[in-house]
Amino acid sequence: MAPLIPDIIAPEYNYLIALIVGIGFGFALEQAGFSSTRKLVGLFYGYDFTVLRVFFTAGITAMTGVLILSHLELLNTDIIFVNPTFLPSALTGGVIMGLGFVIGGFCPGTSACAAAIGKLDGWAFILGATLGIFSFGEFYPLLKDFYLMDAQGPVLIYEKLGINRISFALIMTFIALFAFFATGIIEDKVNKRPVSLLGGNPKNKVLAAAIPVLLVLLVMVTPSRKEFVMSKLEAKAASGECKPDLIDADKLAFELTNNYYKYNVIDVRSPEEYEKFHIATAINIPLDDLHSTAYRQLLNQRIRTNVFYGASTQQAKQACLIARYHGNQTSLALEQTATQFQETFYGEITISDDPSKQEKTVANFRQKAAEKMTEIEENLASREKPVKKKMTRVQGGCS
């Protein structure tokens, strides 16, 4: 699962990878003609929309790739860094950037590209950008309040619009296609050429336009890998082909009071439910998070047996089957719910007026087990709990 660094490639190679990617990016810019100011400012004058097409193509390609990889659970979108939004400073910066672009003819990346092939205007632009950076740093104390005004945190447009990201991706794809179509007409009119709706090779253009639309629709109508796995496991469980092994509350309490170090007790409820009550030594991994690779090593420990419990027995069974799917064949599911376990050991223990020896033994065991589990939990309160792998958010890019 991505990111490549540090999950697949060691962090020590970070700058080497950045250098290779940077060289490739610069080469692509130069080959596309982006070291020429005429090519870049053509966007503002209407005679050349290559910049818009290239960046729209890059954006739609990246967006579609992220959707597909996320759908297949090859990419965890939760670790993608989203720059926090400061609206006033973002708008002001956009105006300054836009003026600099149209006056100087470069953006920071293309100016470096032009400078690399020896263009003096590229070097002049870099010098101006450097002076601007140092000036901002010097005047930052005066600008700080405005710069940090209206902090909104990481804002996602589709969340603000109240739609899901797949629908937003489809809308953006159609916007990009419309932009390609409209800018082609504008270019023809500005350059005084005959207007051609699908100039060049119409078949290739229609095919290129159809690919991202079909891919987004495919993601929209097909189940994700997690949904597919869960439906498959539930079908096997319903048919009796795959049944989780169960453990009852008394057996678990006995094992915890005598051999707690041999078990990973995992609460698959929400963090809020876990905080209200949890079984001694239990850690919290919500059911929806069990598929995450962050917990794979924990679930597959050979020296400990996983015991899952939840708000319902079905939750515990599902968690047990998920662990089995990911390679652990010894996991157990608690027969009772968390509430039932709490009532059994921490609620009022009642016995009949004329109890049998077995009733007395069970009641006595549960009372002492509750005391022992409370003691164990208090003693282990400061222990190092297994935590999920730290998610690395990588910042950067042309912003």
Q: What is the pTM of this model?
A: 0.72
Domains and CATH numbers, the chain: 4-226 (no CATH), 229-379 (3.40.250.10)
Percent helix / strand / coil, the chain, rounded to 5? 65, 5, 30
As a whole number, mean pLDDT of residues 330-345 equals 93
Length of the chain: 399
Which residues 6+ apart lie within 8 Å of 36 measured at CB? Answer: 114
As a whole number, mean pLDDT of residues 116-123 equals 92
C-alpha 290, offset from chain centre: 15
Top-confidence residue, 319 or 350: 319
Going by DSSP bridges, is the β-strand pair 84-86/151-154 parallel, antiparallel, or unpaired? antiparallel
Q: Choose the weakest-confidence range: 215-229, 239-253, 327-341.
A: 239-253
Q: How many CA atoms lie within 13 A of 46 on its CB side?
A: 9
pLDDT tens by residue, 273-318: 999 999 999 999 999 888 777 788 888 888 889 999 999 988 898 8
Distance of alpha carbon 224 from alpha carbon 66, whole angstroms: 13
**Taking the CB of residue 156, how many other CB atoms lie within 10 A of it?**
11
Query: CA 248, 254, 255, 256 torsion: positive or negative?
Result: positive
**Both structure tokens of 7:** 């999950």
**Both structure tokens of 298:** 């924990």
* CA separation, residue 48 to residues 7, 103, 183, 341 (Å): 41, 16, 9, 70
Q: Choose the weakest-confidence range: 53-67, 176-190, 351-365, 377-391.
A: 377-391
Instruction: Determine the pLDDT at residue 324.
Output: 82
Strands, sheet with 283-284, edge to edge from the N-terminal-most edge strand:
245-247, 332-334, 305-309, 263-267, 283-284
